[in-house]
Amino acid sequence: MKLDIFTNLVHGDLSFDESTGAISYPIYQSATFKHIGLNQSTGFDYSRESNPTRQKLESTLAILEGGKAAFAYSTGMAAIANLFNVFSSNDHIIVSNDLYGGTYRIFEELLCKQYGLQFTYVDTSNLNDIYNAYKENTKAVFIETPTNPMMKISDIKEISKFTKEKNILLIVDNTFLTPYFQRPLDLGADVVVHSGTKFLGGHNDVLAGAIILKENDELAERIKLIQKTVGAVLAPFDSWLLLRGIKTLGIRMEKQQENAFKIVEWLKQNKNVEEVFYPGIPDHVGHDICKSQSSGFGSMLSFSVKDVSLVKTILEGVKIISFAESLGGVESLITYPMVQTHSAIPKDILDAIGVNDKLLRLSVGIECAEDLIKDLERAMRLTI
CA distances from 297 to 7, 290, 291, 292 (A): 21, 7, 8, 11
The helices-and-strands tally (H runs, E runs) of the chain is: 14, 12
E strands present in 150-247: 169-173, 191-195, 209-213
Q: Which of 25, 28, 73, 100 is catalytic?
A: 100
> Which helix (H) or strand (E) element contains residue 96?
strand 92-96
Active site residue 361: no
Q: Which of 98, 123, 155, 173 is catalytic?
A: 173
- The gap from C-alpha 329 to its chain's centroid, in whole angstroms, comes to 13
Active site residue 183: no
Active site residue 374: no
Contacts of 205 (CB under 8 A, 6+ apart): 241
Q: Which of 48, 157, 166, 224 is catalytic?
A: 48
List, in sequence order, every residue forming a beta bridge with 195; answer none if it has no partner: 209
Active site residue 381: no
Our CA dihedral for 133, 138, 140, 141, rounded to 10 degrees, sits at 0
Contacts of 136 (CB under 8 A, 6+ apart): none
Q: Within 13 Å of residue 373, how many CA atoms lie on the same side as its CB? A: 15
Q: Which of 56, 183, 198, 358 is catalytic?
A: 198
Active site residues: 48, 100, 173, 198
